[in-house]
Chain A
Amino acid sequence: MLNQTSTPPRLSSLTIRGSELDEKTHQQYLGTGIRTLDLLLSGGIPRGHITQIMGPASSGKTSLLLSILAQATARREWVAYIDPFSSLNPACAQKAGIDLKRLLWIRGPKKILKATDILVGAGGFGVVVLDLVTQGRTMDSRIFQKTPSTAWFRLKHAARRTSTALLILGQEINAGSAVSRVISLRRRKTQWNYAADKKKSTDPHHALLLHGICNELELLRGKDLHAHATFYCHFQL
């Protein structure tokens, strides 16, 4: 006999949204090295998708990116870094834990979208990074605004086919709606080796030391919208 008192299952629990179904077929994630962010992202950066990491200067986006690449190379994956301004610091990359022998570094501002297309379409790379941070330099940022959205969707489909995580680093959203996840970062506090309120005017400058930056991140697109987390970037000699 059926239990008449049992509540019927809710319709929302039985149905799966199309976007979620898509997620189920790509149950592969890449750890970020930050536990709280991995929890927010249900395991990490999704493979086969475009993820954008954005934020102003000194917001920790490059540190977060290097941490993700370190996780990938620790799993013996190949990673590629497309760097139009040649701003990658290999010494920092090595300190972050990246195996430099597994890092393909592409420098130069020309034909970066074509190079991204080749790398993502070829497969075999766990992560491909497209660094679009201009930092006030002469590169015409409008070039990416002029890029048709079909180009980004082409990259998205190529990434899905090859299960490559395409990470775009920028100061604003560059790839439009082709981006599956957007992680926005901002600097909350800079930590020196003294507390600001205890600073004495007589302290010499060489007695101070940059200790690190406390950053805050927010998910602007994807699951758990507007979820927040904090992490710390410590200075390392």
Chain B
Amino acid sequence: MRRFIAIFSSNLPHTFLIAQKLSPRIEICPPDGLLVEVTARSERKALKTFFEQTDSPQKTGSASTRITAILAAHTRSGTVVPDGKELDFLASLPVGRLSLILQESDSQLLSTLLQWGIHTLGDLTALPEKDLVTRLGQKGFHLQKMARGEDVQPFQPYREAPQFKESRELEWTLDSLESFAFILKRMLERLCIRLHNYGQAADSLHLTLQLDDHTVHERTLRLAFPMRHPEILLSLLRLDLQSHPPHSGIVGVSLQAIPVRPRLIQHSLLELSSSNPEKLSGTLARLTTLLGEGNIGTPALLDTHRPDAICMNPLQVEPARCARREKSKRASHAAKKESVLRTQSESGDSIPLALRRFRPPLPTHLSTHQIVACSGPWRSSGDWWRGTAHEWSRDEWDVELVDGSIRRIYWDPLKKLWFLEGIYD
């Protein structure tokens, strides 16, 4: 038969450590309480242990239900309510004691009960259940169950948050990436199995290497798509270490995965099979290693009128289109866009004119006999309120030259120079 010990202590962490030695099933009652589930046989021993090993003042109570144990602890510390005697114990307690358990929003019910002349829990249990529910609803029903010492909520034992971390100290110094990859592989395999067991995937990996010169080499690998495949993660880590190698031998390694819920992608029958997200991550990592960070990504336009205001974002694989509504919305958007593009092309084979940019713009000098036709100036300026360093101003011209090219040039009144911004192509 199971029993519950309620403990309210000012030093909760210490009490929790003691409780962990006595039982694996512990529920935390904020802000300062614990409920420990024990067997009837070990109850006396557990209470004795709490009294002996805790120095801080505490209140304890024991009963066969959690509510009775909590109320017993608050009535008189060390109260043990025998099995089957809960009603007798609770009958004399004032109704206001339930405020220890009830939420603040439900505390108004207690004042209602007091207005009705219900002063003790015994009075509350004596009320006809049907009439109480008629007047107070489901909350009244729960209140009466609590007054009888019955638990309303299920027991929620505390579980430690899983740690997806692997650490290892090496017996000898490793200088070669190949031999280090062997160790990384084993660590990743264990990590991925744990992620799989908890239904999680790695969103990013944090690698910490202890080096033999007593320094630490840290790398954080942000994945384009959450995954838990050790082979792919290993290749990504290898590529990252190739581009950012440690400057000394490795004597210790710690690998931590930040978990997220894995994303699922539903492929369409009507679309071409897109790249496997894990494979795409590997491709991006290889390209980043080859070309360097900052040279690869998706362009995004900044919300400003400054010419060529762009930034590079890392390529993100889209999350799963879980919601049907979102799916249909996106599908209709794609269809609409495609139809617009089709209409554009079908209406006289006309497409928007593109401008090839020079980055940075080239200083240029044109004489009038080189120009066949021109249009302008189109004057614009901005960011003058941010200071001279950010201020920009320009008089823009579109010019057709005798060599056949159509260019966009501009006069910068701040620098007093002509610049070639790009060629229409």
Interface set of A (CB-CB < 8 Å, partner B): 31-37, 56-67, 70-71, 74-78, 85-97, 99-108, 110-111, 114-115, 118-119, 122-126, 133, 135, 137, 163, 187, 190, 192-193, 196, 205-206, 208-210, 212-213, 229-236
Q: B260 at interface (Cβ–Cβ under 8 A)?
A: no
Inter-chain CA distance A231–B375, complex, in Å, is 23
Nearest CB on B from A57, distance (A): 4
Are B275 and A123 interface neighbours, CB within 8 A?
Answer: yes
Q: Is the interface of B mostly helix, strand, loop or mixed?
A: mixed
Answer whether residue B215 sits at the interface, using C-beta atoms and an 8 A cutoff.
Answer: no
Kindly list chain B residues whose C-beta atoms are within 8 Å of the C-beta of A107. Answer: 295-296
Which B-chain residue is minimally distant from A102 (CB atoms)?
B298
A63 B275 Cβ-Cβ under 8 A: no
Q: How far is the CA of A71 from the CA of B208 in the complex (A)?
A: 45
Complex Cα spacing A206 to B395, Å: 11
Would you call B425 and A101 a contact (CB within 8 A)?
Answer: no
Q: How far is the CA of A65 from the CA of B312 in the complex (A)?
A: 21
Complex: A153 Cα to B295 Cα, angstroms: 27
Q: List 8 A-B pairs, minimum CB-CB distance, nearest first.
A: A124-B275, A90-B299, A208-B375, A57-B405, A233-B353, A62-B425, A122-B283, A231-B349
Which chain B residue has the least Cβ–Cβ distance from A28? B272
**Shortest Cβ distance from A201 into chain B, in angstroms?**
13
Report if A63-B425 is in contact (Cβ < 8 Å); known contacts: A33-B344, A35-B346, A122-B279. yes
Report the minimum CB–CB distance from B89 to chain A (whole Å). Answer: 65
Contact partners of A89 in chain B: CB under 8 A: 308, 354-357, 422
Do the beta carbons of A97 and B340 come within 8 Å of each other?
Answer: yes
Which of the residues B291, B346, B349, B423 comes within 8 Å of A115, measured between beta carbons? Answer: B291
A sample of 6 more A-B contacts (CB under 8 A), given A58-B406, A97-B341, is A35-B349, A58-B424, A60-B425, A87-B357, A104-B315, A232-B348
Residue of B291, B350, B356, B359 most packed against chain A (CB within 10 A): B356
Residue of B nearest to A104 (CB): B315
Which residue of A76, A92, A205, A229 contacts B377 across the interface (Cβ within 8 Å)?
A205
Partner of B292, one of A74, A77, A108: A108
The docked-state distance in angstroms from the alpha carbon of A94 to that of B256 is 39
Interface 1/0 per residue, B362-390 and A, CB below 8 Å:
00000000000111111000000000000
Mostly helix, strand, loop or mixed at chain A's interface? Answer: mixed
Number of interface residues of B (CB under 8 A): 66
Assuming the A-B contacts A104-B296, A118-B286, are A124 and B279 also in contact, with contact meaning beta carbons closer than 8 angstroms in the complex? yes
CA distance A77 to B271 in the complex (A): 8
In angstroms, Cα B46 to Cα A142, docked, is 85
Known: A34-B349, A67-B351, A233-B354. A58 touches B425 (CB 8 A): yes
Q: Scoring B residues 302 to 333 as 1 if CB is less than 8 Å from chain A, else 0, what string do you get?
A: 00000010101001101000000000000000
B275 touches A125 (CB 8 A): yes
Q: Which residues of B contact A193 (CB under 8 A)?
A: 375
Distance from B359 Cβ to chain A, minimum over Cβ atoms (Å): 5
Assess the A232–B349 pair: CB atoms within 8 A.
Answer: yes
Residue B170 at the chain A interface, CB threshold 8 Å: no
Q: In whole angstroms, how far apart are the Cα atoms of A230 and B287 in the complex?
A: 38
17 A-B interface contacts by CB (under 8 A): A33-B351, A57-B403, A58-B424, A60-B353, A71-B341, A75-B334, A91-B301, A97-B337, A100-B300, A104-B297, A111-B291, A123-B279, A133-B356, A205-B375, A205-B376, A206-B375, A233-B350
- Are B271 and A76 interface neighbours, CB within 8 A? yes
User: Are the CB atoms of B353 and A124 closer together than 8 Å?
Assistant: no
| Interchain CB contact (< 8 A) of B287 among A97, A115, A212 | A115
Verify A36–B349 contact, CB threshold 8 A: yes
Instruction: State in angstroms the CA–CA spacing of A71 and B339 once bound together.
Output: 10
Q: Which of A60, A67, A78, A87 contacts B345 (CB 8 A)?
A: A67
Q: Which of chain B's residues has its CB closest to A73's CB? A: B337
Known A-B contacts A58-B404, A135-B423, A210-B398; the reply to A76 vs B274 at CB < 8 A is yes
A115 to B297, CA, bound (A): 13
Hey, what's the 0/1 contact readout for B264-281 against A, CB within 8 Å counting as 1?
A: 000010011011100110
Cα A119 to Cα B284 in complex, Å, equals 9
Known A89-B357, A233-B351; judge A33-B375 contact (CB<8 A).
no
Q: Could you tell me the distance between the alpha carbons of A156 and B299 in the complex, rounded to whole angstroms?
A: 28
Given contacts A76-B271, A206-B377, contact A236 B353 (CB under 8 A): yes
B404 touches A78 (CB 8 A): no
> With A62-B356, A89-B355 known to touch, is A78 a contact of B274 (CB < 8 Å)?
yes
In this complex, what residue of A is CB-closest to B344?
A33
- Could you say which residues of chain A place their CB within 8 Å of the CB of B341? 33, 70-71, 74, 97
**Docked complex Cα distance between A97 and B342 (Å):** 11
Pairwise interchain contact A209-B375, C-beta atoms closer than 8 A: yes
Complex Cα gap A68–B318 (Å): 22
Complex alpha-carbon distance, A89 and B341, angstroms: 19
